[in-house]
Amino acid sequence: MQSCEILLQKNKQWAKQKLEQDPDFFNRLATTQSPEFLWIGCSDSRVSPEILVGAEPGEIFMHRNIANQVIHTDFNCLSVLQYAVSVLKVKHIIVCGHYNCGGIKAALDKQRSDLLITNKWLMHIKNTYRLHQEEIDSFEKEEDRHNRLVELNVIEQIRSLSHTSIIQTSWAKNDGPVLHGWVYGVNDGQLRSLTTRQSTDEIHPIFQYRQVSAE
Instruction: Enumerate binding residues for Co ion (CB under 5 A).
Output: 42, 44, 101, 103
Considering the complex, what minimum distance in angstroms separates the CB of residue 72 from Co ion? 20
- Given 63, 98, 145, 180, which residue is catalytic? 98
82 or 119: CB nearest Co ion: 119
Considering the complex, what minimum distance in angstroms separates the CB of residue 44 from Co ion? 4
157 or 170: CB nearest Co ion: 157
The CA distances from residue 156 to 28, 119, 124, in Å, are: 37, 19, 10
The CA distances from residue 150 to 185, 186, 203, in Å, are: 11, 12, 23
Whether 72 is catalytic: no
- Given 96, 101, 146, 180, which residue is catalytic? 101
56 or 143: CB nearest Co ion: 143
47 or 167: CB nearest Co ion: 47
User: H or E stretch including 99?
Assistant: none
Nearest-CA neighbor of 197 among 146, 174, 163?
163
Whether 44 is catalytic: yes
CA distance 157 to 179: 10
Whether 101 is catalytic: yes
38 three-state secondary structure = strand
Nearest-CA neighbor of 39 among 184, 207, 212?
184
Whether 163 is catalytic: no
Considering the complex, what minimum distance in angstroms separates the CB of residue 150 from Co ion? 8
Alpha-carbon 200 to chain mean position: 22
Q: What are the residue numbers of the active site?
A: 42, 44, 46, 98, 101
